[in-house]
Amino acid sequence: MERLDWLLHWLKETSFATAIRENASLFPWLESVHVLAVAVVIGTIALIELRLIGVTSLNRPVSRVLKDVLPVTWGGFGLATLSGFLLFSSNAPTYAHNTFFLMKAAMLAAAGLNAFAFHTFTARSLPRWDTAASTPVQAKLSGVLSLVMWVGIVACGRWVGFTLVPTP
């Protein structure tokens, strides 16, 4: 644990983290980029999951929705990850000890595992149900879990700013 704390303090003292922390407008700009990127991620993921659940785009094959939407999702995710890392670096020890930040990180990992499981296992049978309005139970479950986790990620991310207690 001591090594992790050392690393967190080192990250906080890097020149880019110091610039973000000390510049009056850099943190708000990064936060705005982060929020917009997360909105893109959530919006595009919602399109996919709502198709899997059977709520929307029932006339479009799942494979087509995935092909059209996933590149935008990954672009938004990359930007959200980069901006999130930069925001985190500005006060790494404090964020790393924040319960809501840790819950957000855990849900991000769980959402990633859910997506991995879907693409590795459930999507193997995609040719059989690709154009069906009703998808298999596993696909629906994956979609519901994903939406719940992403709502949780956003909620926890929002609460981080309200619950920060500086860590020495």
- Does 129 fall in a domain? yes
- Asked if pLDDT for residue 52 goes beyond 80, the answer is yes
Instruction: Mark residue 124 as left, alpha or beta (left: phi above 0; alpha: psi -120 to 50; beta: remaining).
Output: alpha
Own/partner pairs for 54-57, CB < 8 Å, 24+ apart?
54/133, 54/134, 54/135, 54/140
The answer to whether residue 165 sits within a structural domain is no
| 129: phi then psi, degrees, rounded to nearest 5 | -125, 10
**pLDDT classification of 167: cutoffs 50, 70, 90:** low
Residue 161 has pLDDT above 80, yes or no: yes
Within a domain: 110: yes
pLDDT of residue 165: 83
Tell me what the mean pLDDT of segment 68-92 comes to: 98
> Over 80: is that where the pLDDT of 88 sits?
yes
- Residue 167 belongs to a domain: no
Closest CA to 132 of 53, 62, 69: 62
**Domains in the chain: how many in total?**
1
Domain encompassing residue 144: 2-160
* 45 φ/ψ angles, rounded to the nearest 5 degrees: -65, -40
What's residue 98's pLDDT?
Answer: 96
User: Which runs of consecutive H residues, i.e. helices, occur in 54-136?
Assistant: 62-89, 92-96, 99-120, 126-129
Residue 168 placed within a domain = no
Q: How far apart are CA 144 and CA 125, in angstroms?
A: 19
115 within a domain of the structure (yes/no): yes
Q: What is the mean pLDDT of residues 104-131?
A: 98
62-82 mean pLDDT: 98
Residue 154: per-residue pLDDT: 97
| Residue 166 resides in a domain | no
